[in-house]
Structure formats: structure tokens, C-alpha cells
Amino acid sequence: MVLILPSQWKKHLSLLPLSLTGTGVFFLFLTTGVGAQTDRLCPAELGQKLATHLQQPDLGRAQWGIAIQPLTESQPVYQYQADRLFIPASNQKLITTAMALQELGPNFRFATQVYQLDGGKKVQIITSGDPSLTLEDLTAIAKKLKDRGVTVIEELVLVDAIAPQDYQRPSWEWDDLHYGYAPPVNGAILAGNQVSLTLTPQDLGKPLAPTWSDSIAGEQWQIINQTQTEVDPAQSPQVRQIFGQRQLVLTGALPPAGEPREITLAVADPPGYFLASLQQKLAEQGITVNSQTLSTDTTAIALAPVLTLTSAPLSALIKTVNQDSNNLYAEALLNAIQLPSSDTNWQSYLERLGLAPTTVRLRDGSGLSRQDLVTPQTLVQLLINQTQRSTGTIYQQSLAVAGRSGTLERSFADTPLVGKMRGKTGTLTGVVSLTGYVENDHWGPVAFSFMVNNSDLGAAVLREAMKQMVLWTAQVEKCQPSGQ
């Protein structure tokens, strides 16, 4: 059992009941407040503190990797298993976004193009995998066609260059695929390929009432509702997919006066959802569609599009990837670099990033795959390399800021590092990672990567342990310990 206490409670430890000070409990003391950053800490002392930190019984059961290197130094000031391969979780997005900047450029935009022939009797929409396309964009298409006098579309062709078998990465786990954080990643993406299911309590003994945020997307799933409204639920609502079927089994319960439970799920048939939604928007503008077709042929039917919808530039898209840890955006960027293929060789891409291919195994863009591997020192080297490129500032600004934005908005609020650390978090069951830059009074920015695999502790406990490690990293300077 782990109890996390502020460092100032150390002096009160002897006053705790004996039942808490036995071998079944260990205490993780967190240094907070301004004093945590003002004390001098030499590299040797940093190493001693980190070693002691990781020797705590529960932390020591897991596999840890650490790399810490100032941007101004040619060698790390501390490493621990830094050259071993770890599952990075969402720290994989650091590689994906750096690669996107390198291969596509900061001004790259996804484009969705609309073509028409024969006065609009044939309409073709060529998609490019824009993860930001919305229902409002479909309304814009319908209005544009109406303004051009279109009332009947004999054939509506949706072009999606990605084949259905490539909508998910082969190494993603089956249990993830019906959730919104693991949506299909195709060319014709709409509304994030996500839909929300809300379960609302009813009268005692009645099933929870399911409602969809979007009926077109929701109707692609068949629901088997085994939920209940109970006074004292033993299990909260759960969703599982029947293997190979578009069927969702709902279980669990909520109390009669309980708050509804919202679950974000993946769209089951993205092109079908896109076409049905577009047809609805066209009908609202008085346009009838007689037939619709899905194609992978990206050859345009006309010389110029009548409408082009573009995404925000890549410089903005990577903020959604790194600050919000958006899996769909990360995978869409990887597809923009190289369309899915079982034999894609990423070696040359990694080499252009200045990374040794033997230190990275890339299986997806988001880090959802447990087959991704990377070393902590490689991630630190990636961060250092990025500062030496013309897009370095764009890359750094894409990261979450401690205590202020993204996945770090609520972190480090009780420390002097608010606004002074930029980083990327990563979480899978048993896996937590944190990589980024922290301001250091002696060295300036210091790049770090903390990774843990094979842990039985909750992510919150591991993140608290890493928070202390970042605080010490901010304190370290080039010196000798007192008395040496």
C-alpha cells in the first residue's frame, strides 16, 4: 500500500499508529513549495535521490528508465536503464509530431475537395484524412451545391483512399476498438469518428435508458441492454463489444437519483456515417441524392473543385496531438506521411530525425499499441534535436504546460514549476511515461524522459513519483556535493 504525504509530514511520522508504520505500508514524501527548487542539488546527489526513490518497495517492483540531459551539454547528467526499450504509451506522439513537421512542414493542411459534373448530377468528394472535419463542414458543402443550383444528385461519390482493413493498426488490442479513444482512422473522418452514449437511471429495477449524441452514428450499433437501476450498484455501467459484430453489451447499474453516465464510443462504419450525414445535410437544403458510392480512386472528375475545405495548419494540429493526447489526430498525421501498409519501413524517417532506428520500434502514431518501443535516451535526444531545427519553437509550443494546459493543466499546481515545464504524458495499464523540458536555473532547459513499465500501481501514484523526479531535475546543477 502507498500513502503519499507532503515532505513536511516527515517529522510527524513517529506519531502515526503502529498499524500504519509496519511493513505493509510505505510512504512517498513529495517535496512541494518554493524551497523544492531553491536548494542546490549536484548531479551525484540527484543520482542518489533518484536511486533511493526507485528503491521504495512498490516502485521498485516495476521497470524504470530515466534520461536527463541539459540542452547545453553533450552528455546526460543522469541515466538509469536509459538505453533499454520501453513501451512509451502516448510519448509515441512526440515521435509522430516531430516526423510530421519534418516530412509535411508546419504549413501542411488536410484538404477535402468537392467536384461536380453535368450541372451537379454527379458530385465527387475526395477526402484526405482530415481529423478535424465536422458536421458543420458538411452543411457548408450542401449550401455550396445549393447555391450552384443543384437540386438532384444522380450519383454521389465519396473517395476514401484508405481501405477498411487499414482503419485500425494491426497491433491495437481488440478490447479498445469500440471506444472513442481508438476510433477507426480512415480518409473520410467526420466528428472525430466518435459518438457518445448516455445511460440514464430510470425507476428502480428498470434498465438504464440509452441515448445517442448522434442518431446516425449510434444506429450503426446494436445494443444489448443488460443494465439495471439499483439502490446500491455493485458495478458501474460497462460496455463490451461482441467479437466481430456491431453489437454492444451494456452491463452495470446506477442508482435512481444518480447522474447519467456518458461513454464515448467509436463510429462503427465511418464512410457510411459520412455519407448518411451528408445526405441528411443535402436534404435539408432541398437536394435529393439518387445513389451513393464509396471509392478509393482519387482521380478527380473535373479540372477544379467547386469547394475546398482545409484544416488548420500542422503547427496547430500538433497541439491537439501533444497537449490533448488525441489518438485520432496522431494516427491521421501518420497516414498523411505514409498511407497504411503492412510493409512500411520507418527507418529512413527516423534517421532523418537524428534517431538510431534500433532504438525505436514504431507500430502506430498514437502509442495505443503495446508493440511500440523506444528508449528514454532516444526521446531525450529527439527533444534536443528538435531545438536545433527551424521548427523547434513550434514543436516545443505543441507540448502541454505544467499547471496551465493540456494533460498537464492540473499537474504541478502545488510546485514552483507551473509554467516552467513542457511535456508529454503517456498512460496505458501498467505503463506511465513523462517526457519534456524543464527550466533549470543553472543550465536553462533540461530535457528528460521518465518511463515505467510493468507496474501494478495506479497511474496517479506513478505520476506523483515522477513529479518529484521532475522537481529534482529542475534543481540539479554542475557542482560537487558538500565535503568533496
pLDDT of the residue at 483:
59
CB 82 within 8 A of CB 67: yes
State residue 341's pLDDT score. 75
Which stretch of DSSP H or E encloses residue 295? Answer: strand 292-295
Grid cell listed for 385: 534535436
Q: Which domains does the chain have, with CATH numbers?
A: 1-30 (no CATH), 32-106+315-475 (3.40.710.10), 111-165+270-311 (3.50.80.20), 191-266 (no CATH)
CB 333 within 8 A of CB 100: yes
What's the grid cell of residue 162? 484508405
Whole-number Cα distances in Å, 185 to 246, 252, 266, 315, 336: 17, 30, 10, 21, 11
Reading the chain (484 residues) residue by residue, the pLDDT tens digits are 445 454 444 433 433 433 343 444 444 444 433 334 457 799 999 999 999 999 999 999 999 999 999 999 999 999 999 999 999 999 999 999 999 999 999 999 999 999 999 988 999 999 999 999 999 999 999 999 999 999 999 999 999 999 999 999 999 999 999 999 999 999 999 999 999 999 999 999 999 999 999 999 999 999 999 999 999 999 999 999 999 899 999 999 999 999 999 999 999 999 999 999 999 999 999 999 999 999 999 999 999 999 999 999 999 999 999 999 999 999 999 999 999 876 778 999 999 999 999 999 999 999 999 999 999 999 999 999 999 999 999 999 999 999 999 999 998 988 999 999 999 999 999 999 999 999 999 999 999 999 999 999 999 999 999 999 999 999 999 887 765 5
For residue 116, give the H/E element and its range.
strand 111-117
Dist. CA 142–CA 144, nearest whole Å: 5
Cell triple for 79: 541515466
| In 293-417, alpha helices (H) | 314-324, 327-337, 347-352, 376-387, 392-397
Q: Residue 448: in which H helix or E strand, if any?
A: strand 444-453
Rounded Cα–Cα distance for residues 9 and 224 (Å)? 51
How many Å apart are CA 199 and CA 254, to the nearest integer?
9
Question: Cell numbers 444506429 label which residue?
Answer: 219
Cell readout for 249 is 453489451
Euclidean distance between CA atoms 15 and 21, whole angstroms: 10
What pLDDT is recorded for position 277?
98
